Structure 1
Amino acid sequence: MTEIRTPRLLLRRWYDNDLAPMADINADPEVMRWIDDGSVRDLDATAEEMERWEDEWDEEGFGIFAVELLASGELAGFAGLSVPEFLPEVLPAVAISYRFGTPFWGQGYASEAAHATLEFALQDRGLDRVISINHVSNQASLNVVRKLGMEPEKHTTHPEYGFPLTVHAIDLTEFQG
C-alpha cells in the first residue's frame, strides 16, 4: 500500500471510515465553492467520488490520497493525482489536486501535502510533467501552486460550467524536491 509521511501528515489510500468525514468536507459550501458548479455533495456522491479515486489507483498506479493529521488521526481532506478528463485540451496530462476541510485551512497542510504528492509523481511514479487546473479566482489554491514552483501555462474555460481556468505546469527538470 502506498503511503507518504510528511512532518505533520500521512497521505494514504482510503479507508471505509473516511467516508463520513470526507462527506462532511464535501457538504461545506465554502469548501466546494470553486469546484465544478459549486454544489455540495452528499454521502452517496462522496462514496462514488471515493470509488472513482480508488479505481484510478488500480488503473493508473496513482490517485487521490486521503490526508490524515499524524497528531490526531483526523481526516483533513485529500491531495493527489488524476487524469483531468473533463478538460480534453490538456490531455495527455496528470493533474495535482487537493481539498481540505475549513478547520484545516491556513495552516500549510495543503502546501505540505501537495509538495509530497508532486515529489511522489515526479520521483516515485516517474512522471515527467504535472499540471494544476484552478479557477482563476481561487487565490488560496493558486498560492499553493506557486509554492510548488508551477508556472502558468495557459488560460482556458471550464467546458461544462464556463468559468475561467488557469493551467499551471511543472516538469521534472524544474522541480526542487
Structure 2
Amino acid sequence: MPELETERLTLRGWREEDLEPLTAIYADPAVMRFIGDGSVRTSEETAAGFARMRREWEERGFGMFAVEVRETGELAGWAGLTVPGFLPEVLPAVEIGWRLGRPFWGRGIATEAARAALRFGFTEAGLDRIVSICHVDHHASARVMTKLGMRQDRLTVVPAHGQPVRVLAITRAEYEPAGLPSHDV
C-alpha cells in the first residue's frame, strides 16, 4: 500500500493499533451525525469496517488511508477512495471520502488529506472520474468538496435509510486544469 505525505500528514496503511482510536471516532455521535442513519458504531461494527478497509486495498488497488498527524503521530481518522455501493444510482463510480475525529475538525486536515487522496486517484489509480457524497446538511464536507474543485452532480436519497444527499463529481480533465497542487510541500 502506498504512503503519501503532505505538509502536516502521512496517509498510510492501517495498523492494528489504529483500531482503538478509530473505535473512539466511530463512537462519537457528533462525528457520525451525518453518516448513514446517524448511528454510532459499536466496537464490533468498527472492527468489521476496519477489516474491510484493509481488504479493499488488496481487492481494488485503492482504498481508505489512515490519516496520521506527522507532528504527533496521532490517528486523525481516514481519507481515501471506495466504491459507493450504498448509492447504486451513481455506479459505476469511485467515491472520495474522509472521516476525522472531532479534535481534528476545523484545521484544514480533511482538505489536505482529501487533496492527496484525490491526486492519488487520478495519477496512481488511473481513475477518470471521482464522486463525493454527503448529507445535504453536512456543510463542512460540502466545503471540502468544493475546495477540491468538485461540482454538483445531483441531489438524491440513499435507498437504505432515506437520508437526502448531494453528489459532487470531478473528472481527470477538470482536475488537471484546476491548478490543484500536483504535490505537497
Aligned equivalents of 2:88, 2:36: Cα separation in 1: 16
Q: Would you say 1:51 and 2:51 are equivalent positions?
A: yes
Q: State the structure with bigger RCO (CA 8 A, min sep 6), 1 or 2.
A: 2
Which whole-Å CA distance do the structure 2 matches of 1:125 and 1:81 have between them?
10
Aligned residue runs from structure 1 range 118-137, under 5 A? 118-137=118-137
Q: What is the TM-score when the length of structure 1 is the normalising length?
A: 0.98
Match of 2:91 in 1: 91
The residue aligned with 1:162 is: 162
Measured in 1, the distance between the counterparts of 2:128 and 2:24 equals: 35
Q: What residue is the counterpart of 1:78 in the other structure?
A: 78
Could you tell me which residue of structure 1 aligns to residue 18 of structure 2?
18
Q: TM-score, normalised by structure 2?
A: 0.94
Identify the residue that residue 117 of structure 1 maps to in structure 2. Answer: 117
1:79 and 1:118 mapped to 2: Cα distance? 9
Deviation, structure 1 residue 161: 1.1
Q: Secondary structure at the match of 2:173?
A: coil
Per-residue CA deviations over 1:54-92 (Å, capped at 9, x if unaligned) read: 111111100011000000000000001000011111000
- Give the 3-state SS of the residue equivalent to 2:66 in structure 1: strand
Decide whether the 8 Å contact of 2:132 with 2:167 is kept in 1: yes
Q: Which moved more, 1:74-83 or 1:34-43?
A: 34-43
Take 2:6 and 2:62, find their aligned partners in 1: how far apart are those partners? Answer: 18
Q: How many residues are matched?
A: 177
Q: Which runs of 4+ in 1 moved over 2 A?
A: none
Percent identity between matched residues is 53
* Cα deviation 1:108-149 (Å, max 9, x = unaligned): 000000000000000111101100011000000000000000
Cα distance in structure 2, aligned partners of 1:68 and 1:17? 12
Query: In the TM superposition, what is the alpha-carbon distance from 1:93 to its structure 2 partner?
Result: 0.2
Q: How large is the RMSD of aligned CA atoms in angstroms?
A: 0.7
Secondary structure of the residue that 1:141 maps to in structure 2?
A: helix
Any unmatched runs of 5+ in structure 1? none
Corresponding letter in the other structure for 2:75: L
> 5+ residue gaps in structure 2?
181-185
